[in-house]
Amino acid sequence: MTVPQVYLCRAPGDPWYRQKEQLVHLGSAPVGLLILASAVKDRANVRVVDGLGKSIESVGAQLNGDIVGISETYASHGNAMKLARIAKEKGAMTIVGGPSVNAIPERILANHPYVDYVICGPGEKALSALIAGEPLESIKGLA
């Protein structure tokens, strides 16, 4: 069995978000993505891409995995969807997670056909199960 290449990405803030410069200066490591990477490191080769303060083009150019997971917030939704489209065009399975998706997973899937799955809530177990090929209906938090 081939070990999948998994890229986990924090999307850059959308252009409309006026405090994005402040986020770059106050930004911390994408801790949630690092936790996810640790949870699946035995099942996949994982790379974390931090898009904070970077252009959508430079971040999208780095997403070359079999599976691409994108963390989004309200302030990065547009760019997160652009990254999902870029990753899907490269042939990746695309997954979106993060605090702003929990209430609207069905809406994201309906309006963004390049998003394959949405993970709601803590994603460690769901992402690990998805990579392992467990039956989709048995994966808690997966939409």
Q: What is the pLDDT of residue 77?
A: 93
State whether residue 11 is helix, strand or coil. Answer: coil
pLDDT reported for residue 23: 56
- Residue 6: DSSP 8-state: E
The confidence score (pLDDT) of residue 25 equals: 55
As averages over each run of 10 residues, the pLDDT of the chain (143 residues) reads 90 74 63 93 94 92 96 91 98 95 94 97 94 95 95
Query: pTM for the whole thing?
Result: 0.91
DSSP states of 112-123: -TT--EEB-S--
Cα 126 to chain centroid distance, Å, stands at 13
Distance CA 36, CA 48 (A): 9
Q: Which residues contact 69 (CB under 8 A, 6 or more apart)?
A: 6, 7, 8, 9, 33, 36, 94, 95, 96, 97, 119, 123, 127
Residues 6+ apart with CB under 8 A from 83: 9, 11, 51, 56, 59, 60, 63, 68, 70
For helices 124-132 and 31-40, angle between their N-to-C axes, nearest 10 degrees: 40
